[in-house]
């Protein structure tokens, strides 16, 4: 099994378990105990810190991946690693007086409706710093092709942390203010763990020396920083603007729906973490054929796996909200439909983001993200006022579609490659047909059993046709190895005396 496939499977398992814990937190514990107002506050706090994070990391985590494989000597690589650590400190020192001086304006910008977030402004800043440095050290692991534990810390740890804090709150061991304080402590511990693990995997020689081609790195950092800031706006501006314009509980309704739709991306998260340094290496070696193979393989594999998740989610929406059984949350049912279409579109493009961000055409990402960021602000402002959280979902879909089409055109024009083939058409047709069949089924079962029944039938039907049509070489290999292993195991059992 290839390195990508092996680590992607481990990462997918970690992310899947993380999403299960996240589902328990988001769908059941938050609404039932602290309540939708506190859920909305925590989500807004984390979303705002995510908006600030790119200003601190300043693209260093992406520069590590792009430039590390271009250096041949250990000294040059070590200089880049140390530069990525101390450069954000300069940014932090510059931001401290700005944040202190402009505190009233920043609070006013964040919200005019829900002023309770004011006392958590420092928390937002601290979490942004901790998250920025975590992303830098996680890139350190990615360039060493050691993503499994880093992925655990990135995806599983925060959800387990929140689950633990919610349980402490339910048991009466902490109050809501302590919840947020311990959340900050948990993020700090995560950073310490990843730092120790990074130095265990690879210890660079300590030498304060600027890396070679510093001007190219800084240019790349600036553009990636601006692109990242715009991307953060695209990802989190909807939640922040809902918090600013509507009542705080609407953030809770929206984020639950968004969480459900985002599950579609889970397989891609694990895959991209390991494919990114491989793509960077292929680009540095000018291996276009290798790029095309990576692009098409990741595309068809993600269409299939994410398409199955799409079927399971959207064919069980009514039953899922019956299980949640909380007032107001089902108002966001349409949000899942709308956003999940955009998520599936994004996953269908495979590792296209890795290719663009690691190539000489990375400046285009800035322009795409800048236009999309402004569009997201304008569309959310117009549509949230008129249609509420459904308007925010429509704005998200429009922005996702625009930036994805721009990326496809760029790759086609500059590299003469694209992620799709005739198998893409078959895969999407199969998704539509299986989804239609499952939706026509009706059983007199309670919601949980009905979800399980539909999911099992979806898996059997979908998997059967995927294997028979041989749409994915990797998935067929996994199936054949699994089948062979099962036959060998049965043979040993029945042939033993």
Start-to-end C-alpha separation, the chain:
33
If 0-12 CB within 10 Å is exposed, 13-18 middle and 19+ buried, where does residue 424 land? middle
CA distance 388 to 386: 6
Taking Cα atoms as reference points, which of 353, 333, 330, 331 lies closest to residue 400?
353
The two tokens of residue 384 are 């949230």
CA distance 90 to 228: 18
CA distance 340 to 393: 10
Q: Can you give the pTM of this predicted structure?
A: 0.72
Distance set, CA 366 to CA 227, 291, 362, 363, 406 (Å): 4, 22, 7, 5, 12
Instruction: List Cβ neighbours of 52 (8 Å cut-off, separation of 6 or more).
Output: 124, 125, 128
- Could you count the other beta carbons within 10 Å of the beta carbon of residue 182? 16
Taking Cα atoms as reference points, which of 362, 198, 157 lies closest to residue 279?
362
HEC string of the chain equals CCHHHHHHHHHHHHHHHHHHHHHHHHHHHHHHCCCHHHHHHHHHHHHHHHHHHHHHHCCHHHHHHHHHCCCCCHHHHHHHHHHHHHHHHHHHHHHHHHHHHCHHHHHHHHCCCCHHHHHHHHHHHHHHHHHHHHHHHHHHHHHCCCCHHHHHHHHHHHHHHHHHHHHHHHCCCCCHHHHHHHHHHHHHHHHHHHHHHHHHHCCCCCCCCCCCCHHHHHHHHHHHHHHHHHHHHHHHHHHHHHHHHCCCHHHHHHHHHHHHHHHHHHHHHHHHHHHHHHHHHHHHCCCHHHHHHHHHHHHHHHHHHHHHHHHHHHCCHHHHHHHHCCCCHHHHHHHHHHHHHHHHHHHHCCCHHHHHHCCCCCHHHHHHHHHHHHHHHHHHHHHHHHHCHHHHHHHHHHHHHHHHHHHHHHHHHHHCCCCCCHHHHHHHHHHHHHHHHHHHCCCCCCHHHHHHHHHHHHHHHHHHHHHHHCCCHHHHHHHHHHHHHHHHHHHHHHHCC
**Rg of the chain's alpha carbons, rounded to an integer?**
23
- Per-residue pLDDT at 273: 67
Distance set, CA 25 to CA 37, 162, 322, 337, 393 (Å): 15, 7, 17, 21, 22
The two tokens of residue 385 are 């006022």
Tens of pLDDT along the chain (497 residues) come to: 455 556 666 776 777 788 788 888 877 888 777 877 777 778 778 877 887 888 888 888 888 887 887 777 888 888 888 888 888 888 888 888 877 777 666 666 555 544 566 677 788 889 999 999 999 998 888 888 777 888 889 889 999 999 999 999 888 898 888 998 999 999 999 999 999 998 898 888 877 787 888 888 888 888 877 776 677 677 777 877 887 787 777 887 888 888 888 889 888 876 776 777 778 778 878 888 988 998 998 899 999 999 999 999 999 988 888 887 777 777 888 899 999 999 999 999 998 988 888 888 888 887 888 888 888 889 988 998 888 889 999 999 999 999 999 999 999 999 999 999 999 999 999 999 999 999 888 778 888 899 899 999 999 999 999 999 888 887 777 777 765 554 454 334 333 33
CA distance 212 to 199: 22
- Per-residue pLDDT at 62: 81
């Amino acid at each position: 099994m290839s390195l990508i496939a092996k680590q992607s499977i481990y990462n997918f398992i970690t992310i899947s378990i993380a999403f299960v814990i996240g589902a328990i937190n988001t769908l059941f514990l938050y609404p039932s105990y602290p309540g939708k107002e506190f859920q909305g506050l925590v989500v807004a706090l984390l979303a705002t810190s995510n908006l600030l994070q790119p200003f601190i990391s300043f693209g260093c985590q992406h520069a590590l991946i792009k430039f590390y494989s271009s250096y041949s000597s250990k000294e040059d690589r070590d200089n880049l690693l140390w530069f990525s650590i101390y450069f954000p400190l300069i940014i932090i020192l510059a931001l401290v007086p700005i944040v202190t001086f402009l505190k009233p304006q920043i609070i006013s910008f964040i919200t005019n409706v829900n002023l309770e977030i004011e006392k958590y402004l420092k928390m937002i800043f601290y979490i942004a710093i901790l998250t920025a440095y975590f992303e830098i050290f996680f890139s350190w692991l990615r360039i060493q092709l050691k993503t499994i534990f880093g992925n655990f810390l990135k995806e599983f740890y925060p959800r387990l942390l929140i689950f633990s804090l919610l349980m402490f709150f339910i048991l009466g061991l902490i109050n809501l203010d302590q919840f947020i304080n311990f959340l900050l402590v948990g993020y700090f511990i995560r950073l310490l763990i990843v730092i120790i693990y990074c130095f265990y995997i690879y210890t660079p020689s300590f030498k304060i020396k600027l890396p070679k081609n510093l001007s190219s790195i800084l240019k790349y950092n600036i553009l990636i920083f601006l692109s990242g800031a715009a991307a953060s706006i695209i990802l989190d501006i909807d939640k922040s603007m809902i918090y600013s314009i509507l009542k705080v509980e609407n953030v809770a309704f929206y984020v639950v729906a968004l969480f459900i739709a985002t599950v579609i991306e889970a397989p891609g998260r694990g895959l991209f973490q390991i494919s990114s340094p491989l793509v960077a290496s292929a680009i540095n070696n000018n291996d276009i054929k290798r790029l095309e193979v990576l692009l098409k393989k990741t595309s068809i594999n993600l269409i299939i796996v994410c398409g199955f998740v799409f079927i399971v989610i959207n064919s069980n929406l009514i039953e899922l909200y019956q299980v949640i059984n909380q007032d107001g949350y089902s108002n966001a049912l349409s949000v899942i439909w709308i956003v999940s279409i955009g998520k599936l579109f994004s996953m269908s493009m495979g590792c296209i983001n890795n290719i663009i961000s690691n190539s000489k055409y990375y400046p285009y990402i800035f322009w795409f993200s800048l236009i999309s960021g402004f569009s997201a602000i304008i569309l959310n402002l117009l549509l949230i006022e008129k249609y509420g959280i459904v308007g925010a979902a429509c704005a998200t879909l429009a922005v996702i579609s625009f930036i994805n089409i721009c990326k496809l055109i760029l790759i086609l024009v500059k590299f003469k490659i694209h992620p799709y083939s005739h198998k893409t058409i078959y895969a999407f047709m199969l998704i539509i047909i299986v989804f239609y069949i499952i939706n026509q089924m009706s059983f007199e079962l309670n919601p949980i059993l009905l979800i399980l029944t539909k999911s099992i039938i979806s898996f059997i039907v979908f998997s059967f046709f995927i294997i028979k049509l041989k749409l994915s070489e990797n998935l067929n290999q996994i199936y054949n190895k699994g089948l062979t292993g099962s036959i060998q195991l049965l043979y040993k059992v029945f042939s033993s005396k």
